[in-house]
Structures are given as structure tokens and as C-alpha cells.
């Protein structure tokens, strides 16, 4: 089929191209302003462009464990052997039925800075995770508490130092990052899980880096204990099983009291028996609690989703119209689309590189198109199982 090329555009064609150009500019701004920000921050910290303290404060590390006997054997020595001047480790054993208690007792004979406590059996109508963390915080002797899970492993002995160096005057909260462990033989679903989790992470890290922190992840998080008591702990959300990290940080974080730490030494790795099932459970949890978050991020990224849909619709319309009526419109559709795709790929891949996530390439367009439908699916199944999120059920 021969294409007709003409510089004479009708008013509707000019309007469509103008709208397409506007949405393209917004999409580009999103990529560079938000999604590329963690990478630029990472590079700046490597150039020693951030202010840190050499006077590392004493910290209490609180480790949440539930039937994690094997993980305690594998990962606790890595946490207990941190190169840090003064710290203690408190493991809160949440009603485990495996050998966790015996393993912790044995480890306590080897490490004099290790302590453990437990959540009482049969605790009902409350969040076991929140109760466990509350017990750990009350047991902590130091003002700064660092949180992680028993299935998480630091990359070396500088994890605590990387977090602790951020507690300069005025800093009360430090947000870290946790990657999924990639097994040798992963299912195809893992690549989408890693893609979705990375975008989720970039959103909350980017907002924190522009001075609008609204959540963190309890697998790699630190804050001053006094904030917990000033906020009356998790009392505002005792009716929910979750929210110990995102909703709580949303309550206590401000423009000035929160910092982000993305150094390689500070990044945790989470080990799960099934990465897909773990990702699915976490996604359902955060999707549910997100409705309780008070943040401009929901509106900002909601608007971004609308722009994604608008860009796709306008692209299809202009490209199809170009094939039928004017080949210049086809060119006008493809050049910005390819430029935006190149920018998205570049920004995603360099973010994935610093955050130790699969870098992908050809799968990105497919995942980008699939994500709205996957999110819709999770919204549906999340609504159907909404009651399980409440402690009073």
C-alpha cells in the first residue's frame, strides 16, 4: 500500500498531534524527574556528594522471624558479625513451630550481643507482626532501631555502617532497599515480579528523594525509637494485619527527617522458597494498605497512569490515521514513541543495575502493556479477600 505524504494537516490532525506531543513531554518528565532520580542519587553518593557522620550511633537491630530455622542458621551470623562499633541484635520469634528457639539459644552462647524474645502463643485479634515489632522495640536498649526479617541477608559486614552513617543531626528515618534473590532456574513469572517490584520501589524512593517520603519496607528500615512512642506505636492501625512499615512511616516521615541509603553495602537480599508467591502476597498487602496512605504520590502516579493510557491511545490513533490518510502522521507517531521507549529502557536498566534487579530489554514493552491488566486482576482478587486484612475477622 502506497502512503500519501502531505504537509497539509486538518484541524483534527493538528489537535491530535498537539495532544500527543503534550502527553509525550509529560511522559518524558516523569521518567527523568521521578524514575531516574534513584540512579542519580546513587551516583552522587559514590562521588561523596552527600553528608554523612563518622560518629556512628549505637543501634538495636530487630529481626522478625516466623518458622525461619534454616534462615537463622544461614543469615544470622552475617548480621551478628557486622563491622559496627556498638550494636545489639534482638530476634522476635513469632510463634514458630520449628527449631527456631533452639537455634537462637545456641547462637546466644556464641554472640553476647544477641537476644531473643517471642510472641505469646494463641495471640488473637491483633497483628502478630506489629506485636512482634512492638516487643522488639520495647526491648531495645538503644535509641535507633533497625528492622529486617530473618529471611534477609546483608551483602557483607558494612550494612549497618551504611545505614548508621545517615543519622546526622535532624535525620530520624533511613529507608533502605531489599532485592529478591534470583535463583539459578527461575520461572518466567519471576521476571515480571522483578519488573513490577522495581517500579514500585522507584516510586517510593523517588518521592523520598524529593522530600516527600511516604513509606518504607520493613526488611531494611531504621528510625529513632522515640518516634515510635511519640506516635503511640501502631495504635492507629491496630485493626489491620499490615502497615507496620508503609502506614507507620507515612505517619512519622517529614520533608527533613528522612534519608535514603542505596549503597551496594546497604542493600538487603530477601530469600523466599517461591518468589512469585512472596511477590503476590506483598503486592496484595501493599495494594490494600495503600488506600490508607496520605500522600500526593497516589495522585501524581495515578495521573502518570492516565498519561500512559492516553499516549498509547493517541499513538494508535495517529499511526492508523497516518497509514490511511497521511504518511507524515505515521512518522510523527513512531519517532516520539521510539524515543520514549529508548528513554524508558535506559532509565529502567540503569536503575535495575544499581538495585540488583534483572535488567531486561525486549520484555519491557510487553510488561508495560501487561501491567495495567495485572494490576486490575490483583485489585479484583484483593477486593474479594479484603476481610483477611483485618484483625477482627
Q: How much is the pLDDT for 118?
A: 86
Q: Which residue has the higher pLDDT, 1 or 144?
A: 144
23 or 308, which is more confident = 23
- Torsion sign, CA atoms 147, 153, 157, 158: negative
Q: pLDDT-based confidence at 27, cuts 50/70/90?
A: very high
Lowest average pLDDT, out of 29-33, 71-75, 357-361, goes to 357-361
pLDDT value at residue 176? 96
* Alpha carbon distances (Å) from 31 to 103, 260, 335, 348: 47, 19, 17, 9
Q: Residue 168 CB: number of other CB atoms within 10 A?
A: 12
Q: How far apart are CA 222 and CA 220, in angstroms?
A: 7
d(CA 89, CA 152): 14
Q: Residue 147 has what pLDDT?
A: 97
- CB-based contacts of 161: which residues, under 8 Å, 6+ apart? 56, 82, 83, 84, 265
Q: Which residues of 181-220 are buried (b: 16+ CB within 10 A; e: fewer)?
A: eeeeebeeebbbbbbbbbbbbbbbbbbbbeebbbbbbbbb
Determine the pLDDT at residue 393.
54
Query: d(Cα 82, Cα 108) in Å, to the nearest integer?
Result: 16
pLDDT, tens digit, 9 for 90 and up, residues 146-178:
999 999 999 999 999 999 999 999 999 999 999
End-to-end CA distance of the chain: 64
Integer-rounded Cα Rg, in Å, for the chain is: 24
Calculate the average pLDDT of the chain: 90
The whole-number pLDDT of residue 251 equals: 93
More confident residue, 325 or 267: 267
3-state SS class at 62: strand
pLDDT classification of 387: cutoffs 50, 70, 90? confident
User: Each residue of 254-288: pLDDT tens digit?
Assistant: 999 999 999 999 999 999 999 999 999 999 999 98
CA 124 to chain centre: 29
Is pLDDT above 70 for 220? yes
Confidence of residue 192 (pLDDT cuts 50, 70, 90): very high
The whole-number pLDDT of residue 1 equals 52
11/354 Cα distance (integer angstroms):
46
Of residues 179 and 6, more confidently modeled: 179
pLDDT value for 241: 84
pLDDT at 123: 62
Cell of 229: 512512642
pLDDT of residue 124: 58
In contact, 140 and 60? CB cutoff 8 Å: yes
What pLDDT does residue 213 have? 95
pTM of the model: 0.91
HSE value, Cβ hemisphere, 13 Å, CA-based, for 246: 23
Closest among 250, 47, 79, 82 to 148, alpha carbons compared: 79
Per-residue pLDDT reduced to its tens digit, 100-116:
999 999 999 999 999 99
Q: What span, in angstroms and rounded, lies between the C-alpha atoms of 257 and 210?
A: 12
Percent of the chain with pLDDT over 90: 66
Compute the average pLDDT of residues 23-33: 94
Q: Which of 87, 39, 75, 389 is nearest to 222 (CA)?
A: 87
Rounded CA separation 267/250 (Å): 22
More confident residue, 144 or 121: 144
pLDDT value of position 106: 94
Amino acid at each position: 500500500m502506497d502512503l500519501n505524504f502531505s504537509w497539509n494537516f486538518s484541524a483534527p490532525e493538528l489537535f491530535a498531534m498537539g495532544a500527543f506531543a503534550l502527553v509525550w513531554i509529560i511522559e518524558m518528565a516523569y521518567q527523568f524527574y521521578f524514575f531516574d532520580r534513584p540512579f542519580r542519587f546513587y551516583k552522587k553518593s559514590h562521588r561523596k556528594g552527600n553528608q554523612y557522620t563518622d560518629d556512628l550511633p549505637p543501634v538495636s537491630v530487630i529481626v522478625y522471624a516466623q518458622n525461619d530455622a534454616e534462615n537463622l542458621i544461614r543469615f544470622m551470623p552475617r548480621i551478628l558479625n557486622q563491622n559496627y562499633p556498638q550494636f545489639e541484635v534482638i530476634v522476635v520469634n513469632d510463634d514458630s513451630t520449628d527449631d527456631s528457639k533452639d537455634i537462637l539459644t545456641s547462637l546466644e552462647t556464641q554472640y553476647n550481643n544477641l537476644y531473643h524474645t517471642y510472641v505469646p502463643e494463641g495471640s488473637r485479634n491483633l497483628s502478630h507482626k506489629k506485636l512482634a515489632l512492638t516487643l522488639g522495640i520495647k526491648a531495645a536498649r538503644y535509641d535507633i532501631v533497625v528492622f529486617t526479617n530473618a529471611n534477609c541477608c546483608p551483602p557483607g559486614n558494612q550494612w549497618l555502617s551504611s545505614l548508621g552513617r545517615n543519622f546526622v543531626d535532624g535525620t530520624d528515618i533511613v529507608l533502605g532497599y531489599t532485592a529478591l534473590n534470583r535463583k539459578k532456574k527461575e520461572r518466567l513469572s519471576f521476571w515480571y515480579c522483578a519488573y513490577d517490584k522495581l517500579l514500585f520501589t522507584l516510586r517510593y524512593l523517588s518521592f523520598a528523594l524529593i522530600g516527600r517520603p511516604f513509606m518504607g519496607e520493613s526488611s531494611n528500615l531504621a528510625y529513632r525509637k522515640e518516634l515510635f512512642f511519640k506516635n503511640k506505636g501502631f495504635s492507629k492501625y491496630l485493626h489491620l494485619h499490615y502497615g507496620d512499615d508503609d502506614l507507620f512511616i507515612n505517619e512519622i516521615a517529614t520533608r527533613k527527617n528522612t534519608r535514603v541509603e542505596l549503597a551496594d553495602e546497604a542493600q538487603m537480599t530477601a530469600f523466599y522458597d517461591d518468589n512469585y508467591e512472596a511477590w503476590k502476597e506483598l503486592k496484595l498487602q501493599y495494594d490494600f494498605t495503600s488506600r490508607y496512605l496520605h500522600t500526593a504520590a497516589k495522585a501524581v502516579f495515578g495521573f502518570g497512569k492516565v498519561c500512559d493510557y492516553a499516549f498509547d491511545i493517541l499513538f494508535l490513533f495517529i499511526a492508523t490515521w497516518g497509514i490511511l490518510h497521511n504518511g507524515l502522521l505515521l512518522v510523527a507517531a513512531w519517532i516520539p514513541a521510539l524515543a520514549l521507549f529508548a528513554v524508558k529502557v535506559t532509565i529502567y536498566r540503569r536503575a535495575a543495575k544499581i538495585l540488583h534487579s534483572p535488567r531486561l530489554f525486549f520484555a519491557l514493552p510487553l510488561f508495560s502493556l501487561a501491567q495495567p491488566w495485572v494490576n486490575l486482576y490483583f485489585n479484583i482478587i484483593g477486593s474479594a479477600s479484603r476481610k483477611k486484612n483485618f484483625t477482627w475477622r
